[in-house]
Every structure is written in structure tokens, then in C-alpha cells.
Amino acid sequence: MSPEPPAAPPPARDLTALLETIGARDGRLVHLERTPARPARHADWPSWADPALVAALAASGIPRPWTHQAQAANSLHAGHHTVIATGTGSGKSLAAWLPAVSDILSAQRAAHAEGTSHRISAHGRRPTALYLAPTKALAADQAAALDRLSARIEAVQAGVAGAPRLTLRSSTCDGDTPLPERDWARAHADIVLTNPDFLHFSLLPGHERWARLLRSLRYIIVDECHAYRGVIGAHVALVLRRLLRLARRLSPGSPGPTVLAASATAAEPALTAARLIGAPPADVVAITDDGAPAGERALALWQPALIDPWGVGPADSTAAPDPGTTDTPGAPNPPSPRRSATAEASEVLVDLLSAGAQALVFVRSRRSAEIVAEHARRILTRSGPPLAGLADAVAAYRGGYLPEERRALETDLRQGRLRALATTNALELGIDVTGLDAVLIAGWPGTRVSLGQQAGRAGRAGSPGVAVLIASDNPLDAYLVHHPEDVLTAPEATVFDPTNPYVLAPHLCAAASESPLREVDLDLFGLPDESLLADLAERGALRRRPTGWFWNAALPGRPQDLTNLRGDGPPEIPIVESTSGTVIGTAPGASADSSLHAGAVYMHQGRAYVVEELTEEAAIVTPRLAVGYRTRARERSSVRILAERHAEAWGDGLTWSLGSVEVTSQVTGYNKLALPHMDVVSQHPLDMPERVLPTAAVWWTIPLETCEAAGVTPARLPGALHAAEHASIGILPLLATCDRWDIGGLSTALHPQTMRPTVFVHDGAAGGAGFAERGHRAGARWLEATLDVITQCRCATGCPSCIQSPKCGNNNEPLDKAGAIALLRLLARAARSARSALPTP
């Protein structure tokens, strides 16, 4: 049940001044960046815009478009692929709907004039449009906006004597849509709103039933295109290429659909959009000059205070030696010398709520969303009236909730019944929430792209807003709050590789089943020749015929089921309550071994459950009233080099390499950690299967004698390598569009293939996602930044702000901070020398 609305809070005070006041405590406010307000710049409606649509938009409070909306709409209407990259809340969707809806209405006017029910046009029929969103929530939000627009169009026409009745038929289609509604969409919808998953698994394999939509497809709108990065970016790019290929074949002689990509934070927008649709960048028009008004914005960089400010000193090493160590997904951070970002966010949130603000708190994990909401409610309850009345207006929002739970929370936030939500990035891209005063970001969100999206949720619709980036105990966070120039620079380029054979091969099979592959399709899919198709034929997946490459229909199953757009790991795991059999949520299958093993503690809406059993079908959990501990998995891993694609020999015998590797990992047990300080109280073994991941990695080796010459003895070497590995993983997101959960690593004092001390950093996706490759190219800067963050950290022997990792499979043992500094100095010096030796271009 939704909470009752609290007593009306006072109008939000000057939140920037409030942050400056509370940030003076212990020097937590490290930097404050103010962006002044800017006025709107308007343009005239295009001459081709349908008058009923223009009148309906005026009735909804849009008398004229902003300049970027008119520019993008004109480009799209003229048949140019277009990307619009303007700020959050700048009305990018209007640029798409203006030409799409105008064409739909114009076709109806022409049909009415001719006395026919259909208009035969250059595109064959009454035009259609397809809208793709990365989340169901965003598609549902756009569908609601189109419904309101349709009603206004009909109301406008009803007031014009003799005017034809104009209709705008839109429908949402995704995995939750009932079959009768899908049937209606196939038969009647002018605009279908969906997501790439539905496109891949349902619409494209069943394209014969969607022929009306595809033959008339005039526009494809790809919203929040920057969200498609890494492996999911490669998958979505190939799905879009399959869609464009089918639509062109179903409408021979037509130019095919025109694509509008939209993003608030895309770097190199034309290149990103072009790579998504398989077109040359020169064929994509980029609109980047934002004409929307903006209120004053403030971004605060915030570092929680030291818990024990007197317990710090110079770096030293006391770590004991240990065998090769790994960095793999785990659980909460070990104890920290600073307050946690989640605890800090909870308290700052209460300060903002007391000033009348409505706010979001973005966190990095599902568990953290529950913790922040519960902590804030507890503080409010203990504060007494009137703040205690706000406790029921704070909630958590995250993936894994059932759809009806998420919709209810979204509605309550829009209508003001909820004053704060602690959320994962599930709300980074999603519902259009206006009126938010503040956003707290507990921990670096992984990329400047995500930072812009999350911070942009505050101060939408031209109102002032504040955002606070609260540093977590993470090497990158510690580095960034003290280097605002790296936070405020342009967003990262979106990294994805559609030619990754692990991603491309199943999409080629799917494409061949939808329409035979021909030589003309090679460029669209980034194939230099037919060798991959021939390999698939040799494996029995495809069959070569004179008219092209066909899917081998004798094989069981569908080719679309060979891959999952969200990654090739296991599907989502339902979480089932043992006493009632109710599904209370879901969790990613890829992390089930480490988070849903037998004995694990699972949190949901503030309630604790203990996992009784994990199978391939579900995790069975039992509710517990009071669980005074949490759990963290223990893992072990190994890395085998399959092929070294690039190697550089640096000074002092160091090497810097990139190549294909095979990572084998296994959950071997778990620890129970007592609340609140997460001290290990017991260890428990587990018998879990090994998981093998073929991927890409960057690695460096260093001769043992070079280590000893730098003062790192064989006894200290494992800890020094391990610490350097952790810090490197933490800093790589500064250079690539990823976060530390997208990558992993391993360090060993003697690797069986290199026969040297070696550190690997690898992509966490099959075949690689481009992150290791980006790190390899930026080696010198990566190593310098890694060294910088360790040397500037005030801790004595290592902490989560420099060398400890929240995902370490070896419980952050051994670690040698001073040894890592010595090794990284050698590496950084060698990288600088190698770079300076390169010929000047």
C-alpha cells in the first residue's frame, strides 16, 4: 500500500547554502561547482508540422519549440539519421514526435480528401514509428505522454467545423504485454513503444505478423542511446541492424526508416549513433546546441569525514605473503577509516528533507538502496515531530522488485506522496520526474555519462537543483573528489564492439533465420569477408545456398535464444519465499553463486531473508525477523592466456600486453559478518561449480630481480601485486565507459605462462567489451592515476579508498601498499619512457 501523504513541508530553502553549511563540518565539502541559469531559445514551428498537432502542443503548454527541437525535427523529417544530444529534461522526445505524428496525421488528411481509408505514399502506407527505450518504465512514461497528446489532438479537431477525425494510435509492447494487446498493436498501432529485448526475442523472429508495421516503418526512435555500452551496446547495435535490414527488404524501392537517437550525455554522439545502426558517421546529423532553459545548478563533491582522524600515517607494509589473488564479485566493503557513502547519504538526505526538498539518492547496489532508505527512516523517526512524519515518505526503488511495486512507487513520487527514494540506476533512465530539488549520488556511478544522467534528475523543467557526489571508499572516488577537472570534463565515449564474435555469431544466425544473409549484408554487420559465415556453416548453424546463407532449420530451438542481450550468462533468478511460494523479486543469474548461495542473507524492502537453497530455476528464501549479520562470498580464480594480440617491451624488462584469456572462477565458501562493523565471525565452505569465461584482458609483467631492486622482496611481492591490481581496477573507469563491476582481475607472483610476476585486468563479459582494450591504449595515464590515488591516500597500510576492494575474492589479503607504490612507480616511469620514445606524428 502506498504511504499516506505527509504533512505539507515548507518550501525548499536554498539547498546550496544548506550544503555549504553542513559541508563545513570536518571539511566534507571538497568542491562546489555552480552552473548559472540560462534562458530559453525558441524557434518557429516547421512549415510541414500538422496544424492539429501544433494546436494540441500549444494547449499542453508548448507554444513554440526550442531551437534544438526544431533543428532535430527538420533533420529527421528530411530523411537524415539524426542524434540529439542535449541536457536532461530538454524535451528531446518532441523532436521525434513532431515529424512522426505530423506524417501520421497528414496521411489521414490525405486519405480523407481522397475518400479512402488508407493513404498510399512514398513509404507505402500510413506511416508507422517504432520507439525503443532501455527500460520498460521509460517506454510506459512515453506511452502515457502520447495518450495525452492523442486526446488533445482529438479535442482540437472536434472544435474545427468540417475537420476530419484524426487519431493517433499507440501501444506499448514488451514481455509483460497480454497477447490481445499485442494483436491490436500488430493490426492497428501507428506507434509501437518497446525495448530491444522484445525486438530481439519477439518482433523480429515473428516479423511476418508485424509486416504492416515494418513495411510502413518511417521512423525509429532510440532513446537514451548512451545506455547501450559494453556488451549490451554491441547486442543492441546488432538488433538495430537486423531491424533496418528487414524493414528495407519488406519495402523495396523505399529509402527505409530514418533513425533518431537521443541522449543527454553522449560523447561523440554522431559516432555513437552511427555505430549503433551500422552507418558512416558522416551520414548522421548531430544536434548538440541546447536551446532549453535551465535553472541554476550546483554540483557538490563530498568526502565523508575520517572516523578516526588521528589514526592515519605514512604508507607502510605489514601484509603477509599469499598465493595468487583475485578480484571478483563479492559483498560489502571491509571496515573503512571514513564513514560509508551510504551512511553519509542517509544523513545528508535527512538534512535536505528537513529543508522541504524532494530528492533521489542513487546508490551502487540493490542492497545499498534498502540500507539507505531504512537508515533515513530510522533517523527521521528518532528526530521526533515534525520530521518523524516524513519517515513513511521515504522508500527504496531498485531492480528485482515486481512491476506493480515499481509502478506504485513511481506514481507516489510523481504525486509527492513520497519525498525521497533511494534507488539504483533503475531510475537513472526512466520516468520523467519533474520538481525534484536534489539528487544525492552515493559513490561514483561508474562514468561521467551516468553522473550527468543522475545529477540531471534535479532541477528539471528549468528549476534550480543541487546534486551531491558523495565519495565512497573506492580509489576512483578518492581521486575524483580531489580532481574536479576530471569530473567536470566531457563525458566518455561510449565503448562497444559489435564485431565481437561471441556477440556477433548468434545475431548472424538470428538474421539468417529472419531473411537469408547475402553479400550485400556484410558491411552492415561489420564483416570484412565471409569467413565467419563459413565457420558457422561448418559448425552446422548455417547453410550455404545460391541465394544466401540460411539458418539450419533442422536444429532444435530458435537462433534468437542463443543469446541474451543483457549478457550471455544465466537468466534472472526468481526469489521465492519458502512459506508461501510467492515470488518476491529477482536477481541477476550471473551473480547468483556469490549472492544467493545457501546461507546468504537477502534484503528486500527492509526485510531480511536467508537463502535455503539455490537451483537453476529459483532461490528459495525464508524470512527472518532479526538477522544480526550479513554474508560475503569467497571465490578463487585463475587466468589462462589464449592469444597475445599486442605486446610492448618497456624498460627494466617490463612488458605491457593485450590479448584473449580464459578466466575460471569458483565460489568456495562464504563468511558471516557481524553488524554494524562487518567483522568476520565465521567461515562456511560451499561446493559450487566452476565458471569459465573467455574474454579480453590487459596485463603487465615485471622481472623478479627488478622487483627486488625496487625493495619489493619475494615475501612482499604477492601483497604488492594484489594492491596494485585492486587500485588499477578501481581507476580504469576514469578512462573507459565502465565501472569496477564490469571488470575483474588477478595478480600472481609467478604465472605459469609468463613465468613472471603478473597482474591481469580483464573484461567481465564473454569475448570482451572493449574496456581492457581502452585501458591498454591509455596505459601511461592509467598507471599515473593509479599511482596518484595510492600515494595521496592518508591511510597507513591501505584502505578502501586506495587498495582494498569490495569485490575481492580473497578478503583483501594480502595487501602491501608501500610495495604497490614501488611497483607502480617503476611501471609509470617505464610507460613514460616508452611513450616519449615514440616518433612524433
List 638's β-bridge partners, or say none: 664
| Residue closest to 290 by CA, chosen among 271, 266, 274, 259 | 266
Is residue 308 included in any domain, yes or no? no
Domain identity same for 790 and 816:
yes
In this prediction, residue 434 carries a pLDDT of 60
Q: Give CA–CA dist 838/841, Å, rounded.
A: 9
What confidence tens digit (pLDDT) does each residue in 569-610 have?
Answer: 556 788 999 988 888 888 877 778 888 999 999 887 678 899
Is residue 534 included in any domain, yes or no? yes
Domain identity same for 28 and 80:
no
Q: What percent of the chain clears pLDDT 70, i.e. is strictly above it?
A: 89
Domain identity same for 757 and 694:
yes
Q: Give CA–CA dist 128/370, Å, rounded.
A: 42
Indicate the range of 162-171, 293-302, 566-575 predicted with least confidence: 566-575
Domain identity same for 455 and 508:
no
DSSP string covering 227-240: G--HHHHHHHHHHH
| Residue closest to 568 by CA, chosen among 306, 335, 766 | 766
Q: Tell me the three cell numbers of residue 69.
A: 527541437
Q: What is the mean pLDDT of residues 487-511?
A: 82
Is residue 310 included in any domain, yes or no? no
Domain identity same for 626 and 640:
no
Domain identity same for 624 and 654:
no
Is residue 449 included in any domain, yes or no? yes
The owner of cell 594484489 is 722
Domain identity same for 254 and 110:
yes
Is residue 46 included in any domain, yes or no? no
Could you tell me the pLDDT band of residue 266, with boundaries at 50, 70 and 90? Answer: low
- pLDDT above 60 (res 56): yes
Q: Tell me the three cell numbers of residue 313.
A: 600515517
Domain identity same for 236 and 204:
yes
In this prediction, residue 321 carries a pLDDT of 32
Pick the residue with more confidence: 626 or 468?
Answer: 468
Q: What is the mean pLDDT of residues 797-804?
A: 80
Domain identity same for 361 and 265:
no
Is residue 353 included in any domain, yes or no? yes
Is residue 334 included in any domain, yes or no? no
Domain identity same for 253 and 177:
yes
Q: Report the CATH number at residue 400.
A: 3.40.50.300
Could you tell me the pLDDT band of residue 384, with boundaries at 50, 70 and 90? Answer: confident
* 3 state SS of 425: helix
Q: Give CA–CA dist 473/305, Å, rounded.
A: 11
| Residue closest to 803 by CA, chosen among 737, 736, 745 | 745
Domain identity same for 246 and 384:
no
In this prediction, residue 273 carries a pLDDT of 92
**Which domain, by its residues, includes 203?**
51-287
Please give, one letter per residue, the 3-state secondary structure of 757-815: CEEEEEECCCCCCCHHHHHHHCHHHHHHHHHHHHHHCCCCCCCCCCCCCCCECCCCCCC
Task: For the chain, give percent helix, strand, coil, nearest 5.
Answer: 40, 20, 40
In this prediction, residue 495 carries a pLDDT of 67
Which of 423, 453, 471 marks a domain boundary? 471
Is residue 297 included in any domain, yes or no? no
* 3 state SS of 544: strand
Q: Which residues contact 338 (CB under 8 A, 6 or more apart)?
A: 303, 304, 305, 306, 307, 473, 799, 801
Q: Give CA–CA dist 207/396, Å, rounded.
A: 39
Domain identity same for 255 and 371:
no
Counting the structural domains of the chain, the total is: 5
Q: What is the mean pLDDT of residues 708-718?
A: 94
